[in-house]
C-alpha cells in the first residue's frame, strides 16, 4: 500500500474497495515487469552466504515468529522475513545483522534512485516501514536501510537526509505522511479522488478513473494540470468548466501572483486557455507566439527504444527528410541491436551517432528529454563512440530540438487532455500501423524477438518505431502551419 500510495492514494482506496471487475486487463508489459522483477530477485538472492536464514518458502502464518527467532539467534542474513507491530506489516526481502541491529533491505529490478539521485519515494516508503517496525521492537538504532538495485549494487538509504534544497522533507517525513494517509484510507477517514497523471498509464484502474474524471469534469483533464495544481485551485475551481470561465482579474494580484498558492498568473492563464479549448466544440490548436522552427534542407527525426531491465538502448530509429531539386526524399533507418550484448549496443549507438552527426546543418527533432538522458548513459557505457562533451554539444545545438519541451508545451495549446506524441499525432489524423502502439509493448516485443527470433516480431518493433518518427514529423508539419493566436492584453 505504501508503495502504491507514493504515486496515487486513490489506487489504495480502489484496491481496497473498488469493484475488481472494473479493472483493465493486465498488459503483457506489466506481466513482463512482474516476471522480470521476480527473476531478478531470485538471481540476486542466490548469491548470499551459506549461513543465511531463508524463510521465503516458509508457511506465511509462521514467518513472523521464525523471523523473530532468527533475529534472536543472531542470524547474519534473513531472507523473506516478516515484521509486524501495531497493525502494520512489512516483508523486507533482506534483514542483515549490523552489530546488534538488523538493517532492512529490498531487492529491486530498477534503479534505486530517481533522476536527481534521491531515493525513489515508493522504495523509500517500503524500506522506512521495515525500519520503523525494527526501531519499535528495539532491533534498529537509526532510520536507515538499503536497496540492492538492478545491477546488484547496494545503495544506502539514509531516511533522515533532506531531499531537496527547497524542501527540508526527508524520506522519513514522506513515509510518515504517507502512512498517515494510508491509515486514513483504511479507516475511511480520508476521501480520495482520481487525477490524470503519468502513473495512470500502467494502472489497472485507468479506464475506470478516466470515466470518473470525465463525468466529474475534473481539472486534471487539462493538459499538464496535475494533482497539486488542482488542489491549489480548489477554492474556486472544481471543474474544467469553472476554469474555462474563470475571471482572471478577480484572482490575479500585482506582480503576477494569484490567490492560488504556487500557481502564477502566466501558468493560470495557460490552464484557463486550455480549459476553454476543451469546453469549445470543434476548437483548434494554436500557437501562443510565433514558433522558433522552420523547414530545413535536411531534417532528422530521432526516436529510441530502451529496455530498462537489460539497461540497453536497443533501437535508434531515424527518419531523414531532405529537400531535393525535384521534390523530397524521406527514408527511415533502424539501428537495431540484433543481440543482447554490450558490443551490439555499441554498434547500434555508433551507427546512429554517425548518422546524426554527419551533416552539422541538419535539424534534429526528438520528443521529450529522454533521448538526451539515454545518450548520456550510452556515452558513459561506450566512451570510444563519442565524448561526453560531444553529446552535450549535440543536444545544446539550437538545431537539436526537443519538440515537446522546447515548442509544444511552452508555446502551444491543443484541445486535448494530454500532450503525448500519441495523442497529438492521432488528433492530427496520423494512425500507427500497430493496433496497440506503446513503448512499453515494444520492450516486451523486443524481449520476445531475442528469445524466438520471429521475423514478424522484429518487424513489429521496427514499424512501431518508424511510426513514432513519422508522427514526430507529422507534428512538426502541423506546428509549422499552426495559427498564432492574437496576444491577449493582460486583464490584471
Ligand atoms: S488510474 Fe490513475 S488515478 Fe486511477 S487509481 Fe490508477 S493511478 Fe490513480
The pLDDT value given to residue 4: 95
Q: Hey, what's the cell of 390?
A: 560531444
Q: Which of 4, 27, 203, 417 to mutate to test the pocket of ligand 1 (most atoms within 8 A of CB)?
A: 203
294 Cβ neighbours under 8 A, 6+ residues apart: 480
Distance 205 CA to ligand 1 centre (A): 6
Low-confidence stretches of the chain (pLDDT beneath 70): 310, 487-492
Burial of 9 (0-12, 13-18, 19+ CB in 10 A): buried
The pLDDT value given to residue 110: 83
What does the alpha-carbon distance between residue 303 and residue 393 come to, in Å, rounded to a whole number?
A: 19
Longest dimension (CA), the chain: 83
Indicate whether residue 479 lines ligand 1 (CB < 6 A). no
Q: 246 near 279, Cβ under 8 Å?
A: no
Distance 6 CA to ligand 1 centre (A): 12
Query: How many C-alpha atoms does 191 have within 13 Å on its Cβ side?
Result: 1
The pLDDT tens digits of the residues spanning 240-285 come to: 999 999 999 999 998 889 999 999 999 999 999 999 999 999 999 9
Q: 132 near 175, Cβ under 8 Å?
A: yes
What does the alpha-carbon distance between residue 447 and residue 6 come to, in Å, rounded to a whole number?
A: 29
Distance 264 CA to ligand 1 centre (A): 27
Q: Hey, what's the cell of 361?
A: 546543418
Indicate whether residue 14 lines ligand 1 (CB < 6 A). yes
The pLDDT value given to residue 489: 56
Indicate whether residue 204 lines ligand 1 (CB < 6 A). no
Q: Hey, what's the cell of 154?
A: 547496494
Q: Which of 209, 212, 219, 230 to mutate to test the pocket of ligand 1 (most atoms within 8 A of CB)?
A: 209
The pLDDT value given to residue 88: 94
Q: Which of 197, 210, 213 to mutate to test the pocket of ligand 1 (most atoms within 8 A of CB)?
A: 197
Indicate whether residue 206 lines ligand 1 (CB < 6 A). yes
Closest by CA position to 94, among listed 136, 33, 52, 61: 52
Indicate whether residue 185 lines ligand 1 (CB < 6 A). no
The pLDDT tens digits of the residues spanning 129-166 come to: 999 999 999 999 999 999 999 888 999 999 999 987 77
Distances (CA, A) of 384 to 315, 349, 390: 19, 11, 12
For ligand 1, what atom is nearest to the CA of residue 14?
5
What length does the chain have?
A: 492
Closest by CA position to 80, among listed 41, 111, 109, 50: 41
Distance 479 CA to ligand 1 centre (A): 31
Distance 211 CA to ligand 1 centre (A): 11
Distance 15 CA to ligand 1 centre (A): 10
What dihedral do alpha carbons 58, 60, 65, 66 form, nearest 10°? 10
Q: Are strands 257-258 and 252-253 parallel, antiparallel or unpaired?
A: antiparallel
The pLDDT value given to residue 163: 83
The pLDDT tens digits of the residues spanning 433-455 come to: 988 788 888 988 998 898 899 99
The pLDDT value given to residue 435: 84
Distance 11 CA to ligand 1 centre (A): 6
- List the beta bridge partners of residue 103: 96
Distance 334 CA to ligand 1 centre (A): 35
Amino acid at each position: 500500500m505504501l508503495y502504491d500510495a507514493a504515486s496515487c492514494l486513490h489506487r489504495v482506496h480502489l484496491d481496497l474497495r473498488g469493484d475488481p471487475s472494473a479493472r483493465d486487463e493486465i498488459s503483457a508489459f506489466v506481466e513482463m515487469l512482474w516476471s522480470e522483477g521476480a527473476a531478478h530477485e531470485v538471481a540476486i538472492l542466490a548469491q548470499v552466504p551459506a549461513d543465511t536464514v531463508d524463510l521465503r518458502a516458509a508457511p506465511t502464518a509462521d514467518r513472523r515468529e521464525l523471523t523473530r527467532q532468527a533475529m534472536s539467534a543472531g542470524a547474519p542474513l534473513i531472507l523473506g522475513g516478516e515484521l509486524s507491530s501495531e497493525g502494520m506489516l512489512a516483508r523486507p526481502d533482506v534483514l542483515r545483522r549490523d552489530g546488534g541491529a538488523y538493517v532492512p533491505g529490498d531487492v529491486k529490478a530498477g534503479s534505486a534512485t530517481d533522476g536527481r539521485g534521491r531515493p525513489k519515494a515508493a522504495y523509500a516508503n517500503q524500506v522506512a516501514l521495515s525500519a520503523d517496525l525494527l526501531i519499535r521492537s528495539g532491533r534498529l538504532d537509526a532510520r536507515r536501510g538499503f536497496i540492492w538495485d538492478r545491477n546488484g549494487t547496494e545503495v544506502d538509504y539514509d531516511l533522515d537526509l533532506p531531499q531537496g534544497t527547497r524542501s527540508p522533507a526527508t524520506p522519513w517525513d514522506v513515509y510518515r505522511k504517507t502512512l498517515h494517509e494510508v491509515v486514513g484510507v483504511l479507516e475511511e477517514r480520508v476521501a480520495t479522488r482520481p487525477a490524470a497523471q503519468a502513473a495512470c498509464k500502467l494502472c489497472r484502474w485507468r479506464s475506470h478513473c478516466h470515466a470518473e474524471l470525465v463525468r466529474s469534469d475534473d481539472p486534471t483533464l487539462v493538459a499538464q494540470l496535475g494533482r497539486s495544481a488542482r488542489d491549489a485551485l480548489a477554492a474556486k475551481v472544481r471543474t474544467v468548466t469553472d476554469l474555462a470561465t474563470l475571471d482572471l482579474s478577480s484572482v490575479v494580484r500585482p506582480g503576477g501572483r494569484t490567490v492560488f498558492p504556487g500557481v502564477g498568473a502566466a501558468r493560470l492563464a495557460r490552464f484557463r486557455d486550455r480549459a476553454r479549448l476543451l469546453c469549445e466544440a470543434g476548437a483548434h490548436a494554436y500557437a501562443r507566439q510565433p514558433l522558433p522552427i522552420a523547414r530545413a534542407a535536411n531534417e532528422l527525426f530521432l526516436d529510441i527504444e530502451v529496455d530498462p531491465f537489460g539497461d540497453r538502448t536497443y533501437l535508434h530509429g531515424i527518419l531523414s527528410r531532405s529537400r531535393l531539386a525535384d521534390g523530397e526524399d524521406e527514408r527511415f533507418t533502424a539501428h537495431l541491436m540484433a543481440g543482447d550484448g554490450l558490443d551490439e549496443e555499441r554498434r547500434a549507438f555508433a551507427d546512429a551517432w554517425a548518422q546524426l552527426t554527419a551533416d552539422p546543418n541538419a535539424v534534429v527533432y526528438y520528443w521529450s528529454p529522454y533521448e538526451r538522458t539515454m545518450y548520456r548513459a550510452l556515452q558513459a557505457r561506450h566512451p570510444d563512440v563519442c565524448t561526453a562533451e560531444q553529446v552535450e554539444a549535440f543536444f545544446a545545438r539550437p538545431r537539436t530540438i526537443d519538440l515537446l519541451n522546447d515548442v509544444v508545451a511552452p508555446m502551444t495549446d491543443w484541445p486535448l487532455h494530454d500532450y503525448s506524441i500519441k495523442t497529438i499525432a492521432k488528433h492530427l489524423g496520423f494512425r500507427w500501423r500497430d493496433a496497440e502502439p506503446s513503448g512499453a509493448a515494444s520492450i516486451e516485443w523486443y524481449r520476445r524477438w531475442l528469445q524466438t527470433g520471429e521475423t514478424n516480431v522484429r518487424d513489429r518493433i521496427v514499424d512501431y518505431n518508424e511510426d513514432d518518427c513519422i508522427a514526430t514529423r507529422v507534428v512538426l508539419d502541423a506546428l509549422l502551419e499552426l495559427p498564432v493566436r492574437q496576444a491577449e492584453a493582460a486583464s490584471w
